[in-house]
Structure 1
Amino acid sequence: MSDQSRSHPANELATWHTGKLLTAAARLVEHAFDAGIAELGVTHAGIRILDALNEDAITQRELAGRCGVQDQTISRTIDGLERDGLVMRHRDPGDRRRVLVERTEDGAQVLERAREVADKRLGTLDEGTPEDSAAARRVLINIIERYSGGRWGGCGH
Structure 2
Amino acid sequence: MPVELTPSQALGLWHAVSLEQVRVDSRDLTLRQVAILLEIYLVPPPHTVRGLAAALGVSKPVITRALDTMGALGLVDRMRDEGDRRNVVIKRTVEGALYLEKLGDLIINQGRKL
Q: Which AA in structure 1 matches 2:75?
A: L
Query: Which residue of the partner structure matches residue 48 of structure 2?
Result: 59
C-alpha displacement at 1:82, in angstroms? Answer: 0.2
Unaligned runs of 5+ in 1: 1-20, 126-157
Structure 2 vs 1, CA of residues 123 and 50 (structure 1 numbering), >3 Å: closer, same or farther? farther
Q: How far 1:102 moved relative to its partner?
A: 1.5
Number of residues of Structure 1 aligned to a counterpart in Structure 2: 104
Aligned 1:2-151 pairs, distance under 5 A:
22=7, 27-38=11-22, 39-40=24-25, 41-43=27-29, 44-54=31-41, 56-124=45-113
CA displacement, residues 61-89 of structure 1 (integer Å, 9 cap, x when unaligned): 21133334333333322111100111011
Once residues 61 and 13 of structure 2 are traced to their aligned partners in structure 1, the CA distance between those partners, rounded to angstroms, is: 27
> For the pair shown, which has the larger CA radius of gyration, 1 or 2?
1
Deviation at 1:26, TM superposition (A): 5.5
Distance 2:112 2:75 in 1: 26
> CA separation of 1:97/1:74 partners in 2, compared to 1, >3 Å: closer, same or farther?
closer
The TM-score with structure 1 as length reference comes to 0.55
Change (3 A) 1:72 1:32: farther
Distance in 2 of aligned mates of 1:112 and 1:83? 19
Distance 1:92 1:80 in 2: 21
Q: How much has 1:124 moved relative to structure 2?
A: 5.0
- Report % sequence identity: 31
Please give the secondary structure, in 2, of the residue aligned with 1:116: helix
Map of 1:150 onto structure 2: none
Q: Which of 96-105 and 65-74 deviates more? A: 65-74
1:8-41 residue CA offsets vs partner (Å, 9 max, x unmatched): xxxxxxxxxxxxx84x666544332222222232
Question: Which residue is equivalent to 1:145?
Answer: none
Distance (Å, rounded) in 2 between the aligned partners of 1:33 and 1:74: 24
Q: Could you say which structure has the higher helix fraction?
A: 1
Backbone CA RMSD of aligned residues = 2.5
